[in-house]
Structure 1
Amino acid sequence: MLSAATADVGYKEGSSNDTKHGRWYGLNFNPWCDMAVSYWAQQSGNAGAVGKFAYCPSHVNWFRSRGQWVSKNAPAKRGDIVFYSWDGGPLADHVGIVTADSAPGQSLATIEGNTSSGNAGSQGNGDGCYRRVRPRTYVLGFGRPAYSGSSTGGGSSPSRARVTIGGLSYGYGAEGDHVTRVGRALVAKGFGSHYAEGPGPVWSDADTLNYAAFQRSLGYSGSDADGVPGPDSLARLLGSTPGAQTYAPFPGAAWFKSSPRSPLVTAMGRRLVAEGCSAYSEGPGPQWADADRQSYAKWQRKQGFGGADADGWPGAKTWDALRVPAV
């Protein structure tokens, strides 16, 4: 989170609050301090922990509702989201991120967007992103994100992978109306608990976590339930689409280990050859053989898997990505 914020230090807005943060959020030409914080969270994989907001009071309420609001008189911690009220009132006017621990009463080292480089100029609607040192005078309080837990729903980070299905990109950072459609379909099926706002139009960790829950409901597990769509699970989420049912569903890992003889094995082999993953000296044919397993291992490695995850035994995720025609 701090690395993402640091990368923006010195960033200058265009005319009338024209910023990359506003364009990303979908509210360009508006004050953008909280959009910058949300952008840094999204860029660093912390969207679930930090939230996605453009209006500071709503962001404060979100932290309060999660039991993550800290008094302005408390010790500040590196990574805290600090909210300011310039007039001392109950509503937040500005926001930034704390870059170093600070004892009660001590000044704060921060990075803030939409501020000025010094005390001259607007503090809450300035011209860029700057490092600041501020007294506690104007601090309203702190949001304290659970970086190690709430952004992931577990002990490991959400997948940052991205796939292309039907010419459209899905997975972390993908953007478009189709991402919103996936999110709305997840919510409709009861898999929207990780959204703070939204869904869409930018694929975030919340989408990945919700999609992983949907995959588990279909019987996927392990790396096959990593929250990155495959053609089969996507078709089952969105309903039948033209061509969606032309692909064979994953028959299960045990099926391959039973040494099957089936036209499906031939169809799989032909797709592996087409993907440049052939270990065949002849064929492929209908009888599962070691050449099929070696070829599939090449496909797994091409998909980014390694070690035991590239042992040549098909899994649901790589099977979906291979798009084997139904036979």
Structure 2
Amino acid sequence: MLSAAAADVGYKEGPSNDTRHGRWYGLNFNPWCDMAVSYWAQQSGNSGAVGRFAYCPSHVNWFRSRGQWLDRNAAVRRGDIVFYSWDGGPLADHVGIVAADSAPGQSLATIEGNTSSGNSGSQGNGDGCYRRVRPRTYVLGFGRPAYSGSSTGGGSGPSRAQTTIGGLVYGYGAHGDHVTRIGRALVARGFGSHYAEGPGPDWSDADTLNYAAFQRSLGYSGSDADGVPGPDSLARLLGSAPGTQTYAPFPGTAWFKGNPRSVLITAMGRRLVAEGCGRYADGPGPQWTDADRQSYAAWQRKQGFAGTDADGWPGQQTWDALQVPTV
């Protein structure tokens, strides 16, 4: 479903709402946002799950009648259908598809037909199909299709798997600066062809497709080149972007509190010593010790933190400032 929608991104309507979606539906020269959603469903074999509609309020009622309706601030998944009410009333007047998981109340990454590329044009009767990021201000609610094959819809599109490496999540649903960093490294390596914009902090189909291309360049194939990072390919990507110095991503405070033993601890300790914050009688070494914590507390104080903010447990801000090299 999302692959069908993504294939339409950048599509422009002709005069008077002349579109392939309207011609397919049999209501050409009319507002076509819901016809686009219906078209994507038909193209991907999901008509039974998504429905076939041209009028948004009827589509909302269809989801409601099937017990597949979520309120505006619900946690939503990629593949959910989002309905908008620009005036805040009870009737939907625009629709699109959710392109990335979103926690309750968070903004939405979407693909929408019959909208504008930015906020300056008409949002519900624009000139084409675009990726958008929208707040929930105008959301009426969501339909959740019962896609076949899996809880996230199945199909043969980009992988929807996730993995956790060093305390950070990669793959669908991932969000953060580390996702942007992966995208920039892919672009630097020549694997950014699927980005229409970005890269950004939300993992998208483009990230998966670009990462899969990078995996294939390393000799991976099949399920080993599914676009979901593994420890080896991630290390090779971040350690080999031409002309750049790469730094180890923050593994999370909880990781340090688990008394880890890792070469990353040694690299961190060496950076602390280089910054004049070493409190080691010997070392540093790979095992996290109280000397590491005392040294990191000295680094936090050097960064201007005090009290419980300088307790020696690493945090994202001070870690990024320390610039521990990738190991």
Q: TM-score range by the shorter chain?
A: 0.3 to 0.5
TM-score (norm 2): 0.46
TM-score (norm 1): 0.46
